[in-house]
Copies of this chain bind each other. A is one copy, B any other.
């Protein structure tokens, strides 16, 4: 993994991957007690950064592999990214999804033309299912994070952050990134190490799913005890990746662990002050910027708002609980 893979991915994705804006608001700065910039990656195609990695992986395949089709396993956002990228590359996608994924994500994946195979998150191993189907049908498996071309694609968000922050005169900041398996986190960290070396990435995770934070602290890969039961469904993974963890270990500052409830509050703030729809997992880095300032050392901070694929009833709950506080 190196910066050249990220710039090559950016070139392949030019005109296709959306350049999402870097937003700010005086109201948010007041609330956080420091300047905050938000990379609005929920505005990416399919509603999350996962489209970057998906486009990157598909566009890097050779002709025959592309024609044969791809397979992916995902709680939803990677699924939608792969489904749309496959459609745009005029090939087929099979998506292995947990049966408890939000219905919206399952429906969207199907509507984008993919074949969805559901599995039980607690009792079955998605890697095994994915490998078996890939072999049976001659499909190329596109892993959600521990895959070099996917990491390179997520890293293109880091290239944009460096450029857009420079337009605001910012070259040094902590960059808070929602972290599941570490694909986005390590990709952005790689890009910034080259383009904005005074920036430092901090992974942000939900309480009870802080495998990366603990792994960075202990110096070895740690697993989560729980594998489901969080509103932040998009960023729940058993453990950091074999490729992503060494990158994060080399490049990232300590992790930050945030309660779910803070994600709901941050969703209401993003609604009110940025006009941006975020899902709980996609709001967690923004929540860290707003409510966990004691763990931060820089001013400004940059928070990556990584996705917005939330069912209407959960969004309504966030507004009902916190929409009138502001």
A277 within 8 A of B: yes
Q: How far is the CA of A297 from the CA of B320 in the complex (A)?
A: 41
Whether the Cβ atoms of A111 and B21 lie closer than 8 Å is no
Q: Chain A contact residues (Cβ within 8 angstroms of B): what range?
A: 35 or more
Residue numbers in B under 8 Å from A104 (CB-CB) = 272
A324 within 8 A of B: yes
A274 within 8 A of B: yes
Closest beta carbon of chain B to A306's beta carbon, Å: 11
- Knowing A20-B21, A275-B43, A277-B271 are in contact, say whether A316-B308 is a contact too (CB < 8 A): no
Residue numbers in B under 8 Å from A167 (CB-CB) = 15
Closest beta carbon of chain B to A165's beta carbon, Å: 13
Residue numbers in B under 8 Å from A292 (CB-CB) = none
A1 within 8 A of B: no
Q: Which has the most chain B C-beta neighbours within 10 Å: A167, A274, A275, A315?
A: A275
Interface string of A301-326 (1 = CB under 8 A from B): 00000001000110110011001100
Q: Which residue on chain B has the smallest CB distance to residue A317?
A: B316
Q: How far is the CA of A236 from the CA of B43 in the complex (A)?
A: 29
Whether the Cβ atoms of A315 and B20 lie closer than 8 Å is no
Q: Which residue on chain B has the smallest CB distance to residue A271?
A: B277
A23 within 8 A of B: yes
A112 within 8 A of B: yes
Interface string of A24-66 (1 = CB under 8 A from B): 0111000000000000101101010000000000000000000
Whether the Cβ atoms of A21 and B23 lie closer than 8 Å is no
Whether the Cβ atoms of B272 and A275 lie closer than 8 Å is no
Whether the Cβ atoms of A271 and B323 lie closer than 8 Å is no
One of B21, B26, B271, B323 near A313 (C-beta < 8 A): B323
Q: How far is the CA of A208 from the CA of B242 in the complex (A)?
A: 62
Whether the Cβ atoms of A308 and B26 lie closer than 8 Å is no
Q: Which residue on chain B has the smallest CB distance to residue A84?
A: B26
Residue numbers in B under 8 Å from A84 (CB-CB) = 26
Residue numbers in B under 8 Å from A45 (CB-CB) = 25
Residue numbers in B under 8 Å from A275 (CB-CB) = 42-43, 47, 276-278, 308
Q: A313-B323, A316-B320 are in contact. List 17 more A-B contacts (CB 8 A).
A: A18-B23, A21-B21, A23-B43, A26-B87, A43-B274, A104-B272, A271-B277, A271-B312, A275-B277, A276-B277, A277-B277, A312-B319, A313-B324, A315-B319, A315-B323, A316-B319, A316-B323
- Shortest beta-carbon contacts, A-B, top 7: A312-B323, A275-B308, A275-B277, A42-B275, A312-B319, A316-B316, A316-B319
21 A-B pairs (CB sep. < 8 Å)? A15-B167, A20-B21, A26-B84, A26-B87, A27-B108, A42-B275, A43-B274, A43-B275, A43-B276, A47-B275, A104-B272, A271-B277, A275-B277, A275-B308, A277-B277, A312-B323, A313-B323, A313-B324, A315-B319, A315-B323, A316-B320
Give residues in A with beta carbon < 8 Å to B.
15, 18-21, 23, 25-27, 40, 42-43, 45, 47, 84, 87, 104, 108, 111-112, 167, 268, 271-272, 274-278, 308, 312-313, 315-316, 319-320, 323-324
